[in-house]
Structure 1
């Protein structure tokens, strides 16, 4: 049935909750796990589910995302497969920005209409999970549903942060409340015994939807509602058959700096909740990089991407992204270092050292803890970042502090001896 499906990945708005990582790139283009981009997660899930016609909707800072898509997802000339970017555009019928998730899809319907399909799979671009969409689609068809919503059991403490579904014994959704603040008892749904034992008896929307083609077109063209979760879904429950597809695997929304930080560092666990080492790889840009070279470094719970040159003394509970240089006697703890887009030449390195300027990467004798180092940063020698008391939140020229996490901005230059 997947040959009758088109997928739409929603790129999100300005991504202000992920600032400064989204200062110069869209949310789907944010690097994750040292070598991937966020957009690779939903696209890989689609491709593993044999869904190979994919549109990515975006409107803010889309240049790096366009470049990544162009350089990554290539298909045979004889294939109907594609991954295309759809940015907000002026047309005779619409002249403004996307006003919400539903409005973004509404403004893109004319691009879908040239294809043959019966179902539309709508995904978020800022989540970490592995799901078989083929199974969800088959259950959608078997149930005779108009709309299916992927849901995940959550604890009562998590309820106010999600759209919560209430289902009957057949899995049909009878009510939907966006981020409820009270009346939780009326929203308890039937879940598995394992979920009950964990106290996860509420069903939260994962922001993953399947619409029958005619239903989607009718809903979007008959009104001017702009959001699926707040408007389209709650009203559709009264007029259409809307069912829940219950998912109990790993899933997290990584739309904030703390959740993004935790999701990345969680990959270093002995048995991570999100498995990078299974038989369903995450697809990303193929880079012809050399193996990493590591000299005299004690590594513990560390993930090192390809193309790195590392002379640090200790790297603990950290991810090190592609092409990262780390100097002698440096210690890295609980950090995500995104790496670099290119190498400096020997001549550039010599010039920087002669001028007492930091080279790209991390210098000698640094102590860095609880930090995200964005791409292409120049961090000098003897730099200390967040190794004392937790820092107050704030935005500064070279970095931002949020919930005790220091985010060094892309291309920032941190002089020798700096203490943050």
Structure 2
């Protein structure tokens, strides 16, 4: 008789400030930063959870938490508003031994050790809300079980200029992780972690307790937790095998949108077999006037376009005036464009009245 499998607990780490995104995260949690017109960054891991049948999901939040709570809507868009299980939103607490703000992703989990132990999962699936990608977590979980792994890191390949912002791993021919470096100044490997991890729950909690007892730093995974697990010799790499982009900088956020506009994009937002689910407001259809010219762009509901839009993404309710050019740009919702913009990111509700052109980095109008 086959043994019954235990529960999987999904933990979405959604508390970071996103400081490298400048004004785009002033006043909003990074996970609710708009993406692709009508979506938010956190929609990607939550949609993946829905399609992968991961139905117990805790969202750990901190920075500008109210902006995230409004979007989460008790988990309803992702079928996580359930009487039993479903979505649980976790906040920093006050008044106890574990009170105060989280100091990093590992610390956020460590401070919830008792709650996780009480939930008693077999596996813990840890996800960030900083990247755009599609992934069937069920397949990753299955391979983790087949290997009898203590930890699995989902990986992809990135050039050195991106790898230095991430964790890198060395793997042997079987996929076993033999070395790990956290944000190395000179990466020795182009295989990076995608901030998708599977942990044996007991091993994870025991390792946290062990490291805490030794006085080790428990802020981010890369400082102590992952190096310790790699040393134990049962951490495995699982290649994502598709599109993945961290959008933690202005350049990468802009580039991820340009990727959507390729003739054959690697990440399709219109895939009927794996739709990205979100909490969306009701908007009328976009209006494109006779004076408008649109080339290779995404236009969201509620937009009014009377000028030229080329290789750009417009969020809901954007107005582009007649005679104006919007080229190679990302315009977030409810903005009005009355002057030409090229290679720019326009924040929600902005009124652009002066010509704006980006250089090495895209220009930002907030």
**What TM-score, normalized by structure 1, do the two folds share?**
0.79
Partner of 1:191: none
Give the secondary structure class of the aligned counterpart of 1:19: helix
Instruction: After TM superposition, give the deviation of residue 266 of structure 1 in Å.
Output: 1.7
Match of 1:179 among 172, 176, 183: 183
**Cα deviation digits, residues 214-262 of structure 1 (max 9, x gap):** 1111112222322212211111122251111122211111100110011
Match of 1:295 among 285, 289, 294: 289
Instruction: After TM superposition, give the deviation of residue 155 of structure 1 in Å.
Output: 4.5
Residue 259, structure 1, aligned to residue 263, structure 2 = no
Give the secondary structure class of the aligned counterpart of 1:171: coil
**What TM-score, normalized by structure 2, do the two folds share?**
0.90
> More displaced, 126-135 or 103-112?
103-112
Give the secondary structure class of the aligned counterpart of 2:12: strand
Give unpaired runs (5+ residues) of structure 2. Answer: 213-217
For residues 183 and 17 of structure 1, the distance between their equivalents in structure 2, rounded to whole angstroms, comes to: 20
Q: 5 Å matches for 1:46-65?
A: 46-65=49-68
Q: 5 Å matches for 1:264-275?
A: 264-275=257-268
CA change 1:305–1:258 in 2 (3 A) is: same
Q: Which has the larger radius of gyration?
A: 1
Partner of 2:215: none
For residues 125 and 133 of structure 2, the distance between their equivalents in structure 1, rounded to whole angstroms, comes to: 16
For residues 64 and 361 of structure 1, the distance between their equivalents in structure 2, rounded to whole angstroms, comes to: 23
Instruction: After TM superposition, give the deviation of residue 117 of structure 1 in Å.
Output: 2.0
**Cα deviation digits, residues 265-298 of structure 1 (max 9, x gap):** 2211111121112121110013222111110211
For residues 260 and 60 of structure 1, the distance between their equivalents in structure 2, rounded to whole angstroms, comes to: 19
Instruction: After TM superposition, give the deviation of residue 96 of structure 1 in Å.
Output: 2.0
Number of residues of Structure 1 aligned to a counterpart in Structure 2: 355
For residues 256 and 186 of structure 2, the distance between their equivalents in structure 1, rounded to whole angstroms, comes to: 29
Residue 408, structure 1, aligned to residue 361, structure 2 = no
CA change 1:145–1:404 in 2 (3 A) is: closer
For residues 78 and 66 of structure 1, the distance between their equivalents in structure 2, rounded to whole angstroms, comes to: 17
For residues 101 and 406 of structure 1, the distance between their equivalents in structure 2, rounded to whole angstroms, comes to: 30
Q: 5 Å matches for 1:176-325?
A: 176-181=180-185, 184=188, 202-224=190-212, 225-239=218-232, 241-278=234-271, 279-296=273-290, 297-312=292-307, 314-325=308-319
Partner of 2:111: 107
Root mean square deviation, CA, Å? 2.2
Give the secondary structure class of the aligned counterpart of 2:257: helix
Give the secondary structure class of the aligned counterpart of 1:236: helix
Match of 1:10 among 10, 13, 17: 13
Instruction: After TM superposition, give the deviation of residue 328 of structure 1 in Å.
Output: 1.6
Instruction: After TM superposition, give the deviation of residue 160 of structure 1 in Å.
Output: 3.7
Give the secondary structure class of the aligned counterpart of 1:20: helix
CA change 1:262–1:183 in 2 (3 A) is: closer
> More displaced, 240-249 or 43-52?
240-249
Partner of 2:71: 68
For residues 10 and 76 of structure 1, the distance between their equivalents in structure 2, rounded to whole angstroms, comes to: 17
For residues 5 and 361 of structure 1, the distance between their equivalents in structure 2, rounded to whole angstroms, comes to: 45
Whether the aligned pair in 2 keeps the contact of 1:2 and 1:49 (CA below 8 Å) is: no
Instruction: After TM superposition, give the deviation of residue 405 of structure 1 in Å.
Output: 1.7
For residues 116 and 44 of structure 1, the distance between their equivalents in structure 2, rounded to whole angstroms, comes to: 24
